[in-house]
Amino acid sequence: MPKAEHVPITATVLRWAINESGFGPVEIARRVKASPEDIEAWMVGSDTPTRGQFTLLTETLKRPSALFFLERVPAEPPTRVSLRAAFGDLKRNLTRDELNSIRYARGLQTLVRWSAQESGTHHEGLPTVTFETLPDSVSEAFRDRLGVKSFHQRSWSDANVAFLSWRQRLEALGVVVVQLDLGPTAIRGFSIASHETPLVAVNTSYSYQVRIFSLFHEVAHLLTNSSSACVGFAAPLRHVDRIERWCERFAASVLLPASAVKAFVSQFHPHHDEPGLDEVRAISRQFHVSARAAAMRLIDLDLAPPSLYRAVDAHWQVLERTERRGGRAPSTPRRRLRQVGRRVANLVSQAVGRGAITQLDALRYLDLTLGEYEDFSELLAAEQ
């Protein structure tokens, strides 16, 4: 019987990848059909995996094969994603599914960074601010950088188009935007800070309006160089986490510039009465934002009393969930393209074409079969 071929990987890189994954040696061993002692030996460099074990290892850790042949670990230090609640003491940790989603996103982030570095693609990076800076001043400068005017925003046909448009603008700045089905009781979204490849993820269990608000809430975390997974909404007149309050105010002010909101309210309600649910509904539709965001912005601008938020919370809470429609579900390639976005999809496709990663790596990262990957590539080409 021929001796198994071993793969000469770099032990320090493997040790880093395993530590980043959150899996222990026992769990890794079970998944790659090896013993915990084998894993320990690979991590210190006294032994290396067979080709079959290496294939299972890259699949488990969701890392490009080429990564394990680097002389040293990637330059960027690992980041810890902190679970944050808008208010109260959160009596739970991140669930296994939430941790797996964050691990998957980290893998995508590594793949994008790897592909961008290999191709010589660079972005300027996001500015860095502190929580002491006024959210409105930060949001005004950031919106200018996105290049979105109020009339652009109001011209988008619906919230789906609005989400895709905001996503495209953020991707142009180098932000990786991911959509993940985390479930209705899970986190709203999360951020993973990085100078080269900042990443935000939003929960598709919420409507597009809420996703848009969560998107910019997580962008706020990126601007303050914090990696967070966020639960709940920062309602006015409640004891709210200071950082979460800042991120909520930033998101509301990016999406609803003060001058545009005041002009709209003046036209919609010229008698200077306090705005109510009708105004919230109208702002939500015109600017493609959540009702909570509209109410929060009206209150921050002293156009409405804090009690408006409670009325909105009671009236719209159920409507914030994604409506599960009947009929034929989208194909797996189309769902994966919506999940990772065109920028990530293009980078993966180009990396395969250049030979920077293998097609097998792409199948693992995108969770596609070979046939589905071919359909995915055709779909991506058709949408260029």
Hey, where are the domains in the chain? 11-69, 82-320, 332-382
pLDDT at 198 over 90: yes
Question: Is pLDDT larger for residue 15 or for residue 326?
Answer: 15
pLDDT at 89 over 60: no
Whole-angstrom distance, CA of residue 52 vs CA of residue 213 = 44
Question: Is pLDDT larger for residue 208 or for residue 91?
Answer: 208
Q: Which of 37, 217, 192, 204 is nearest to 104 (CA)?
A: 192
Whole-angstrom distance, CA of residue 152 vs CA of residue 68 = 45
Lowest mean pLDDT of 162-176, 225-239, 333-347, 365-379, name the range: 225-239
Q: Let me know if 301 is exposed, middle or buried by CB neighbors in 10 A (0-12, 13-18, 19+).
A: middle
pLDDT at 365 over 60: yes
Q: What is the pTM of this model?
A: 0.81
Whole-angstrom distance, CA of residue 348 vs CA of residue 208 = 26
Q: How many residues does the chain have?
A: 384
pLDDT at 235 over 90: no
What was the pLDDT predicted at 323?
Answer: 52
Confidence grade of residue 103 (pLDDT, cut at 50, 70, 90): confident
DSSP state, residue 189: E
CATH architecture entry for 11-69: Orthogonal Bundle (1.10)
Residue matched to tokens 């985390």 = 182
Mean residue pLDDT across the chain: 84
What was the pLDDT predicted at 240?
Answer: 67
Backbone angles phi, psi at 4, to 5 degrees: -65, 140
pLDDT at 271 over 70: no
pLDDT digits (tens, 9 = 90+) for 307-356: 888 888 777 654 555 555 555 667 888 989 999 998 889 888 888 888 87
pLDDT at 144 over 90: yes
What's the token pair of residue 121? Answer: 């693609």
What was the pLDDT predicted at 384?
Answer: 65
Q: Which helix (H) or strand (E) holds 84?
A: strand 82-85
Chain centroid to Cα 58, Å, comes to: 23
Neighbours of 99 (CB within 10 A): 15
What's the token pair of residue 206? Answer: 């919420």
What is the average per-residue pLDDT within 224-243?
77
What's the token pair of residue 274? Answer: 């306090």
pLDDT at 86 over 90: no
Residue matched to tokens 């939430």 = 98
Q: Let me know if 63 is exposed, middle or buried by CB neighbors in 10 A (0-12, 13-18, 19+).
A: buried
Whole-angstrom distance, CA of residue 284 vs CA of residue 303 = 16
pLDDT digits (tens, 9 = 90+) for 207-229: 999 999 999 999 999 999 989 99
Q: Which of 103, 97, 290, 285 is nearest to 178 (CA)?
A: 103
